Amino acid sequence: MALSQTKEWLRLLHYEKSFLGGYRSRVTGENFFFSKTGKTDPTAEMTETVAAFSKNIVVGNLKQHPQCAFPERYKFLKLHLKLSTIDVACPKLDEYLAKFNPESVTLVFSSAYPHNPGSMFGHTFLKINSKSKDHKKQDLLDWGISYAAQVADNENPLAFVFLGLTGGYRGQFSLLPYYAKVNEYVNNESRDIWEYELNLDREETYRLLRNVWEVETNTYFDYYFLDENCAYQLLAFLEVAKSEWNLLDFPIYVIPGETVKKIATVPGAIKSVKFRPSLQKKMLHAYQLLNLDQRNTFQDLLAHTLTPNGISDSKTLDSLIQYLFYVKKKKDNELNEREKELLRAVLLQRSTLGVSAPDSGEHFISESSRPEAAHHTFRLGVSLGLEQRKFGEVKTESFRELNFKFAFHDLLNSDLGYTPFSHLDFPGITLRYYSKSESLKVENIHGLSLTSLSPLTVLEKHPSFTFHIEVLSPKDLSCDHCQLFHFDMGAGGTLDLGTPHSIIYTLAMAQAEMGSSLPLGYRLLPKLQLGFLSNPVEKYKIQLVSNAVFDALQGDRQKYFFEFQLNQSFFLTRSWDLRLLGQVILNQKDSISFAESRFIVHYYF
């Protein structure tokens, strides 16, 4: 095989197979190529690159000799073609590499922002582990390499979505001390961090850094939210570092959590795993360890009805210190005067009690929170069902369904690797075939769903919220095949029932629907929802939902109706689950106008 067609060369220049055959580099800027046809011709680019290394010219953003602008390319070609080219000095490159003094690489995954399912994807970046000089490893002083879209601070939200989906932004690398990233994610944003030390040696780490230099100092990638994003490009650079790894075979898109799953499937790729719990998680855990008397003392101290002087219970004081530090971070490091005085007094009293045994943090680590344990994101489902409509005459009919969803996680999914009681879905479609009438219809076109059911606690009172956009088949109307554009949003509160993984919640919601089957072409439907959700055992979830719906512009329709749902899911593996769903609608005369049951088999991939 010609050297220009080898996996190493193709990856080094970020070529990929094009749709019509041949190759095309993902790199956008022309400064990356010496050949006029280099973007699509690996052989021509190799020929021109070899020639450039012997010329006395400067290239790229930093106006460097080609050997300095493309050091990994030069090293690769000199080794395999046995070039006799004289090496030139590259002070800027040497300074860049000396900053890292690299030894290995860690893939870092930060979890979603709590209480914000829109950030449920999380974020990935690389940590370059430096070579320790005194055998005392201080990894917070290492450097983090992040890749993100260049977006203006005042960007219009609609432009942000459009440009992000269509590659309208440039991707940009950034370097930050790792302690700054930990402070940003763990302390300021209450995001957990998982660190996966990768099985890359020192030379492979240098190879990655040199290739990052080649891209960042000469050109750029277009940034796409769904595919060529931070997760995808980091995997591409890992493939450059370790040519035997194949990490980019994703069907349509890649999201940060999927990078961790992909790495985890490569035998021997991960050397070790480390977990850094968020400040919020540590604060809540410390409080949960307190007994009832200790919690009462905690609350009395917080309410200033009790002073810390004389309190000898270090556990209560430690918990209060954790809480006050958490509040301080939430308030941009500014406590009010009473809080400052309380923190000083608690710290002073705690200092008289001696040092407790260090917390290993092991209690935070479980398979349930590891991102690589999460179910896959694409979903394909088939279902059998029976529905009954009673609008004048009773009509009963069986049906079959086929559904597909691109992403991501709903309330009935297993919470392994995800934030519990959160929901983020987009987009999807459901087709329904009725056996008796032999008719096929689009049952649902799903746009976007966001839900966060955050339990209210003594320490935190985050509201729950929900948001949906879709095209659906209304069940409270007599038409069989009508379609309505549906939008709803709402907010409310959630309570933890005290048993593991069980909540009750209520949401006040506003709904709007539009369609030609409505007399006015639209309707407004205020709704009050009461729900129960439980994950009582590892492989099972149950949800009860009741909705009281008021049709504000009912015309000749019923003024209000009630909807009840019983939903159950059974998790077989990470790739399979089963669901039993039931729905009943009662009209204002307390009679059933619609009833439906479905059995669904889902496959995740």
In which element (H, E) is residue 524 found?
strand 522-524
* Dist. CA 376–CA 602, nearest whole Å: 11
Residue numbers of the domain that contains 319:
279-350
Q: DSSP states of 551-590 as a string? A: -TT-TTS-SEEEEEEEEEEEE-SSSEEEEEEEEEEE-TTS
Domain assignment present for residue 361? The answer is no
Taking only the tens place, the pLDDT of each residue in 510-537 is 999 999 989 899 999 999 999 999 999 9
Size of the chain, expressed as the number of residues it contains:
605
Tokens of 127: 């940590």
pLDDT tens per residue across span 21-38 = 899 999 998 899 999 999
**DSSP code of residue 469:** E
pLDDT digits (tens, 9 = 90+) for 237-261: 999 999 999 999 887 778 888 899 9
- Structurally, how many domains does the chain consist of? 4
Residue 101 or 251, more confident: 101
pLDDT band of residue 358 (cuts 50, 70, 90) is: low
Same-domain status, 79 and 149: no
3-state secondary structure of 22: coil
Residue 244 inside a domain? The answer is yes
For residue 493, give the nearest of 551, 452, 458 by alpha carbon: 452
So what's the pLDDT on residue 556? Answer: 56
Examine the pLDDT at 135 and tell me if it is beyond 60. no
Confidence band for 133, pLDDT divided at 50, 70 and 90: low
Question: Of all residues in the chain, what percent carry a pLDDT higher than 90?
Answer: 76
Query: What is the distance between the alpha carbons of residues 576 and 414, in angstroms, rounded to a whole number?
Result: 10
Tokens of 100: 């890292």
SS (H, E, C) 160-181: HHHHHHHCCEEEEEEEEEHHHH
Same domain as 41, residue 105: no
With bands split at pLDDT 50, 70 and 90, how would you rate the model's confidence at 156? confident
Q: What is the pLDDT of residue 70?
A: 98
Rg of the Cα atoms in the chain: 29
Indicate if 246 and 266 belong to the same structural domain. yes
Answer yes or no: do 328 and 397 share one domain: no
Residues 137 and 263 in one domain: yes
DSSP strand pairing (484-496 vs 455-456): parallel
Residue 248 identity (one-letter amino acid)? L
575 in a structural domain = yes
Residues in Cβ contact with 408 at an 8 Å cutoff, skipping those fewer than 6 apart: 120, 121, 255, 377, 424, 425, 426
Measured CA to CA in angstroms, residue 26 lies from 18, 40, 590 at distances of 10, 10, 61
365 is a domain residue: no
Q: Does a structural domain hold residue 44?
A: yes
* Domain match, 215 and 287 both: no
State whether 342 and 457 are in the same domain.
no
Burial of 517 (0-12, 13-18, 19+ CB in 10 A): middle
Verify that 325 and 205 share a domain, yes or no: no
Instruction: Dig out the tokens for 354 from the structure.
Output: 């001696």
What's the CA gap between 167 and 148, in Å, rounded? 12
Question: Is pLDDT above 90 for 236?
Answer: yes
Please say if the pLDDT value at position 223 is more than 70. yes
The residue type found at 439 is S
Strand partners, 171: 149
Residues 117 and 34 in one domain: no
Residue 401 lies in a domain: yes
Q: Which of 309, 334, 350 marks a domain boundary?
A: 350
Q: Which residue among 258, 276, 294 closes a domain?
A: 276
Q: Rounded CA gap, 102 and 205, in Å?
A: 7
Q: Name which of 113, 95, 105, 161 is nearest 130 in CA terms.
A: 105
| Phi/psi at 341 (5° precision) | -65, -40
H or E stretch covering 490: strand 484-496
| Residue 359 reports pLDDT greater than 80 | no
Please report, rounded to a whole number, the percentage of residues in the chain having pLDDT higher than 70. 95
Do 227 and 187 share a domain, yes or no? yes
Tell me the range of 264-273, 417-426, 582-591 where mean pLDDT is highest: 264-273
Q: Is residue 172 situated within a structural domain? A: yes
With 0-12 / 13-18 / 19 or more C-beta atoms within 10 angstroms meaning exposed / middle / buried, residue 427 is middle
pLDDT higher than 60, residue 402:
yes
Q: Which pLDDT belongs to residue 367? A: 55
Rounded mean pLDDT, 323-329: 95
Shared domain check, 314 and 416: no
pLDDT at 506: 99
**Which runs of consecutive H residues, i.e. helices, occur in 223-303?**
230-241, 256-264, 279-288, 292-302
Say if 174 falls within a structural domain.
yes
Strand positions, DSSP E, 259-392 = 270-276, 379-391
Of 244, 276, 308, the residue at which a domain comes to its end is 276
Tell me, what's the pLDDT at 118? 47
Give this prediction's pTM: 0.89
Residues 272 and 283 in one domain: no
Alpha carbons 427 and 408: distance in angstroms, whole number:
9
